[in-house]
């Protein structure tokens, strides 16, 4: 996926390492999602890009927020969004965090166990809770299948206990894994949701919403072998639309839906302007000669996900069809994990790349700021530049 003209112009104008966001592109991606999933409310997963201007852009479009801590809740409130459009989507929270979230006006809390339900009842009395169901995570780059969620049978007991404790058993949620690459994962999750809704109805519990969670993939990244990921988005959206209709019919029409995209909204509309630190060649212990391209930006200041994804690299001062060499691409720190293409997946880079040459790292807008360290090895966070939208900008 090529960067928009706005993003390309900003990258070309940058003279120092910078993380650039195209706000119009993000707004356009949001509008696309709303068109694809009519009647499904959107809550942006803030952890993917906690940048104030990005959040304000989404809030202006009518987006709400999935927050995972009181700090994120407070940041969401700073956009002016109504408290009812923010939920506490983290199933892991202390008593103090529950109290803080409640004081900030949040009334919707994710849960997946009885202990958490009892804590919410004590520290956020009368709150609404939605129970997260476990999924296998199959088909996703990050499965999220162990730390969160419970079985369908346990979800029924959790929501029954919530009702007994004076809470509102408001809903169910799923998360099929981050960067989910199959429509089948969504279909399986929807089947599970249907089964649990039937069980809840048998217990006299009628939830009012289903949260479809995150997982919608970015479009412009590569796999660890340098191949386009090509997620089947059309098929995913079709499965979601059919599933929403099926669950609504099952519930007699009295069911709202939410979805929590993160990287889908921001990854492809963010890019890093970095530079070459050095292109070098070294002989390994087994005698193999290997090229390494070291960048000024790496795992600890913008490219944390380099182990699972490859980012498209553009070398604007070198012709795309010029001489190239296969190289391992790595960040600047003295940490051996700070590399994102190893011997099985070398990247073709300009043979004449020299220190100081600009490099554009495309589709790197998700989690670039979230995972950044304060300055490991002295390499600090990248400054951010948000390219504003204008009235002339079309939808994506």
Q: Domain-by-domain residue ranges, the chain?
A: 23-265, 268-387
What are the backbone angles phi and psi of residue 250, rounded to the nearest 5°? -60, -35
Tell me the fold of 23-265: TIM Barrel (3.20.20)
| CA-based nearest residue to 155, from 104, 106, 192 | 192
Q: What is the pLDDT of residue 393?
A: 58
Cα distance between residue 379 and residue 376, in whole Å: 6
pTM: predicted TM-score of the whole model, two decimal places:
0.94
> Strands 358-361, 270-283: parallel, antiparallel or unpaired by DSSP?
antiparallel
50, 22 contact by CB (below 8 A): no
**What pLDDT is stored for residue 70 in this prediction?**
98
* Catalytic entry in 131, 221, 297, 334: 334
- Are 331 and 303 in contact, with CB atoms under 8 Å apart? yes
Q: H/E element holding 36? A: helix 23-36
Strands 64-67 and 40-45: parallel
Which residues, 6+ apart, have CB-to-CB distance to 259 below 8 Å?
Answer: 33, 37, 40, 41, 42, 43, 211, 212, 213, 214, 216, 240
Determine the pLDDT at residue 257. 98
pLDDT per residue over 100-155, tens digit each?
999 999 999 999 999 999 999 999 999 999 999 999 888 888 877 788 999 999 99
Per the CB < 8 A criterion, the answer to whether 382 and 11 are in contact is no
At residue 394 the predicted structure's pLDDT band, cuts being 50, 70 and 90, is low
Q: What percent of the chain has pLDDT over 70?
A: 96
Contact 91/110 with Cβ under 8 angstroms? Answer: yes
Q: Average pLDDT over the chain, rounded to whole?
A: 93
Q: Rounded distance, CA 49 to CA 59, Å?
A: 13
334 is catalytic: yes
If you average pLDDT over each of 90-104, 144-158, 284-298, which comes out highest? 90-104
Q: Of 90-94, 139-143, 278-282, which range is least confident? A: 139-143
More confident call, 265 vs 340: 265
Pick one of 2.40.30.110, 3.40.1440.10, 1.20.120.450, 2.40.37.10 as the CATH number of 268-387. Answer: 2.40.37.10
Position 223 scores a pLDDT of 72
Say how far apart CA 64 and CA 114 lie, in whole Å.
27
């Amino acid at each position: 996926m090529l960067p928009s003209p706005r993003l390309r112009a900003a990258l070309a104008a940058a003279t120092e390492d910078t993380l650039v966001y195209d706000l119009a592109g993000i707004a356009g991606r949001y509008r696309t999602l709303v068109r694809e999933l009519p009647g499904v409310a959107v809550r942006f997963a803030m952890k993917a890009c906690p940048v104030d201007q990005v959040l304000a852009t989404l809030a202006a479009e009518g987006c709400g927020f999935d927050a995972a801590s009181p700090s994120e809740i407070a940041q969401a409130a700073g956009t002016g969004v109504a408290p009812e459009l923010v939920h506490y989507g983290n199933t892991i929270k202390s008593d103090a965090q529950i109290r803080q979230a409640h004081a900030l006006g949040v009334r919707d809390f994710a849960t997946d166990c009885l202990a958490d339900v009892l804590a919410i009842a004590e520290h956020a009395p009368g709150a609404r809770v939605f129970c997260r169901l476990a999924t296998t995570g199959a088909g996703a780059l990050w499965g999220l299948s162990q730390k969160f969620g419970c079985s369908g049978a346990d979800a029924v007991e959790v929501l029954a206990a919530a009702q007994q404790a004076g809470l509102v058993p408001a809903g169910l949620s799923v998360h099929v894994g981050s960067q989910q690459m199959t429509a089948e994962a969504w279909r399986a999750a929807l089947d599970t949701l249907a089964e649990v809704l039937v069980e809840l109805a048998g217990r006299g519990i009628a939830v009012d919403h289903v949260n479809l969670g995150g997982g919608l993939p970015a479009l412009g990244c590569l796999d660890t072998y340098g191949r386009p990921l090509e997620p089947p988005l059309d098929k995913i959206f079709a499965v979601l639309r059919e599933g929403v209709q099926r669950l609504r019919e099952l519930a007699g029409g009295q069911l709202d839906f939410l979805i929590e995209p993160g990287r889908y909204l921001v990854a492809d509309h963010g890019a890093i302007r970095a530079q070459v630190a050095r292109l070098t060649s070294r002989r390994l212990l087994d005698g193999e000669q290997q090229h390494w391209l070291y960048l000024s930006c790496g795992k600890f200041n913008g490219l944390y996900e380099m182990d699972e994804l490859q980012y498209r690299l553009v070398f604007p001062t070198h012709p795309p069809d010029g001489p190239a060499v296969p190289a391992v691409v790595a960040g600047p720190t003295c940490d051996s994990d700070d590399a994102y293409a190893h011997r099985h997946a070398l990247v073709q880079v300009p043979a004449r790349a020299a220190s100081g040459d600009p490099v554009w790292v495309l589709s790197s807008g998700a989690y670039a700021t979230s995972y950044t360290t304060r300055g490991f090895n002295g390499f600090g966070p990248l400054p951010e530049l948000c390219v504003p939208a204008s009235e002339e900008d079309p939808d994506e």
